[in-house]
Structure 1
């Protein structure tokens, strides 16, 4: 299935392919403040449609994840990084996807504060 998503103002738009059933809610200092529900997909399943020039990047701590945000509206639609096996991944904020019933998703909790 292909999902489409964007930031609030629409400058950053993307599509992602996969089966969306589970998301991760991380309690680290940035994810808890953003309220993100993260769907991790292989990088090749994610395609940025527009907004490369509008994207800002924020990295902290170990700097293994680049948190991407729209420099106009401030919304964080996705992040980029590497999984423990060394594969490039994209962490899509499911709250930025169009027409997704978030209440139907299984939410797994991740203790990012403990890292």
Structure 2
């Protein structure tokens, strides 16, 4: 199966981007989605897919409109719509984990056409594995 391109938008449509997921992440219209238990992902409802940087394209100047929040190591920047507050993505370009730097963590809840009920999930115990611990 060929890679598939999706559109993601915030609730108010101020932020629009396209992302292409490789065929291993797009079998029969479902996705392999990561459910992280870190404090931020839990509080904001993130369910993540991880396209490579080269496969994420923002419409117009949407990327510059995103508001940012960084915590703990301040190197995994969470981006959200400044208008409606939708949690859109995690920018890993400055991540302390070098292997993450070439990808984005896109909130699958913002992507049109992904069947979250029938998707396959992976789990990351961010609550225990990420430092420093959230209090």
Q: TM-score, length-normalised on structure 2? A: 0.78
Structure 2: gaps of 5 or more residues? 131-135
Distance (whole Å) between structure 2 residues aligned to residue 74 and residue 106 of structure 1: 27
Counterpart of 1:45 in structure 2 is 55
> Of Structure 1 and Structure 2, which has the larger fraction of its residues in strand?
1
* Bigger mean CA offset, 37-46 vs 86-95: 86-95
Counterpart of 2:80 in structure 1 is 69
How far 1:86 sits from its partner (Å)? Answer: 5.7
* Bigger mean CA offset, 71-80 vs 84-93: 84-93
Q: TM-score, length-normalised on structure 1? A: 0.91
The count of aligned residue pairs is 115
Q: 2:35 aligns with which of 25, 35, 41?
A: 25
Structure 1: gaps of 5 or more residues? none
Distance (whole Å) between structure 1 residues aligned to residue 42 and residue 101 of structure 2: 25
Greater radius of gyration (CA): 2
Q: 1:104 aligns with which of 118, 124, 130?
A: 118
